Chain A
């Protein structure tokens, strides 16, 4: 299967996963969205040289992924897709920041490597939280939650269309790629001119298809208002869910849990 087909399948898999009834899927979308935002803010608020202190935050995506019954494979694949981005953001750090910072198992690590690890970990945490959010809520419900939280309709509708047209674009790209593979001589490289032409074709075809999808939505009365078949209501459990996780984030942010646990265990041993 081509890489494009795999990407399309992964994207669709998240939507299909969100449609299941799991303990997390039954939570109000606004509660999940707000908690995830708090989580990302907490992750980003750490100093760039802190790595160990971030580790307890991995509990959040792990517990939520379990509650959402998300397959670990889906999570890993998405993290793998985010790898190049993490590399791009942090790869210059080890080269620019060479001051020695710590010694780990006899190996001296520069501050650049530590900050690179911190960036990679923060991206991994944020991406996994976002994947869990989408995989347990679905884009239509997520957009409706954003609208309910006061985000202007123009943004929520754009987001919904962006999500829908992503499938259109990847689907068209997959068809073009298959057509090319079937008629390209094996082993021969395809020239730049052909790639440019393919890109143009892709945009034109995706545009045409997107127009038809939009027409289909208009034909069924779409007026840029997001309405859900099963609108959720905020319940006491949602308040507890939010309060519990936010309290945990505050503790992790202001108490260095790994160090505290390390000191406690060392004290016990001594």
Chain B
């Protein structure tokens, strides 16, 4: 039997200036699961995500990725398995052209040129950005940048995909494409977002973070139906309100 994709045990993170960001988070996500992490600003969502591929190391507690403990020694392997899409796509694009940027990850994995090329084409095609391959990264629109940033991560063929506010700054059409893309992926997906409508469509399970602690963990439609919980975490029901949540609760 495959080990869980992600296991966090009593994860604590305190920043260098003494600010506590995570105060004992436990989480277990199974392979292929789509999980959302929601919470107010400062709840610890991005800090939690950054532990999943070792951009931050725990102050205490542990992180296991597919049965492998996150340590300095396993960092490279963990990063190969966990793809991270940053909140600001602009931070993620650093090569001059789209093709070079998407190829950056596969090249660092040491893939042969032909295989790397195939992965670049497949990743660009998956996000509908094949036509952008020769474009300069700084000339892309916000939605195109987001698509290319996701392609850059998909090209590394990670088994776990971590996305920080993926729908931020996207127009409705771009957001719809993103939702369809995320729904079509088979990898384990962890999405931190304020976009509860996206969560309803993509993630059957949601983890609610509040001041560095897990306030709730369960089925999305059920948790979103809890008005008090949403209010406590400074969240609002998605557009369409409770009716939409009720519809999501109906078996598909």
| Residues 199-254 (chain A) with a chain B CB within 8 angstroms | 209, 212-213, 215-223, 225, 227-229, 231
Residues in B neighbouring A164, C-beta threshold 8 A: 94
| Residues 67-115 (chain B) with a chain A CB within 8 angstroms | 76, 79-80, 83-84, 86, 88, 91-92, 94-97, 99-100, 103-105, 107-109, 113
Contact yes or no, A229 B107, CB < 8 A: yes
Most chain B beta-carbon contacts within 10 A, residue among A220, A228, A231: A220
Known: A229-B103, A229-B116. A223 touches B108 (CB 8 A): yes
Neighbour of B134 across the interface among A19, A138, A227, CB < 8 A? A19
Contact yes or no, B80 A221, CB < 8 A: yes
Residues in B neighbouring A216, C-beta threshold 8 A: 84, 86, 91-92, 94
Neighbour of A217 across the interface among B50, B94, B103, B107, CB < 8 A? B94
Nearest CB to that of B149 among chain A residues? Answer: A216
Nearest CB to that of A160 among chain B residues? Answer: B94
Contact yes or no, A220 B153, CB < 8 A: yes
Known: A209-B91, A219-B55, A219-B79. A16 touches B108 (CB 8 A): no
Residues in B neighbouring A256, C-beta threshold 8 A: none
Residues in B neighbouring A222, C-beta threshold 8 A: 104, 108
Contact yes or no, B79 A221, CB < 8 A: yes
Minimum CB–CB distance for A98 against chain B, Å:
49
Q: Is A173 an interface residue when CB atoms closer than 8 A count as contact?
A: no
Residues in B neighbouring A140, C-beta threshold 8 A: 95-96, 100
Residues in A neighbouring B176, C-beta threshold 8 A: none
Q: Is B138 an interface residue when CB atoms closer than 8 A count as contact?
A: yes
Known: A219-B55, A221-B80. A212 touches B88 (CB 8 A): yes
B interface, over-half SS: helix
Contact yes or no, B79 A15, CB < 8 A: no
| Residues 221-244 (chain B) with a chain A CB within 8 angstroms | none
Residues in B neighbouring A43, C-beta threshold 8 A: none
Nearest CB to that of A139 among chain B residues? Answer: B96
| Residues 128-161 (chain B) with a chain A CB within 8 angstroms | 134, 136, 138-139, 152-153, 156
Q: Is B167 an interface residue when CB atoms closer than 8 A count as contact?
A: no
Contact yes or no, A223 B96, CB < 8 A: no
Contact yes or no, B104 A220, CB < 8 A: yes
Residues in A neighbouring B99, C-beta threshold 8 A: 229
Known: A12-B138, A19-B136. A221 touches B96 (CB 8 A): no
Q: Is B220 an interface residue when CB atoms closer than 8 A count as contact?
A: no
Hey, which bits of chain B sit against chain A, CB under 8 A?
50, 53, 55, 76, 79-80, 83-84, 86, 88, 91-92, 94-97, 99-100, 103-105, 107-109, 113, 116-117, 120, 134, 136, 138-139, 152-153, 156
- Of the A-B pairs whose beta carbons lie under 8 Å apart in the complex, a sample of 18, sorted by A's number, is A19-B100, A212-B88, A213-B94, A215-B50, A215-B55, A216-B92, A217-B94, A217-B104, A219-B79, A220-B104, A220-B152, A221-B156, A222-B108, A223-B108, A227-B108, A229-B99, A229-B107, A229-B113
Hey, which bits of chain A sit against chain B, CB under 8 A?
12, 15-16, 18-19, 138-140, 164, 209, 212-213, 215-223, 225, 227-229, 231
Known A216-B91, A220-B79; further 15 A-B contacts with Cβ < 8 A: A12-B136, A16-B96, A16-B139, A18-B96, A19-B97, A140-B95, A140-B96, A216-B86, A219-B86, A220-B104, A220-B153, A221-B76, A221-B156, A222-B104, A229-B116
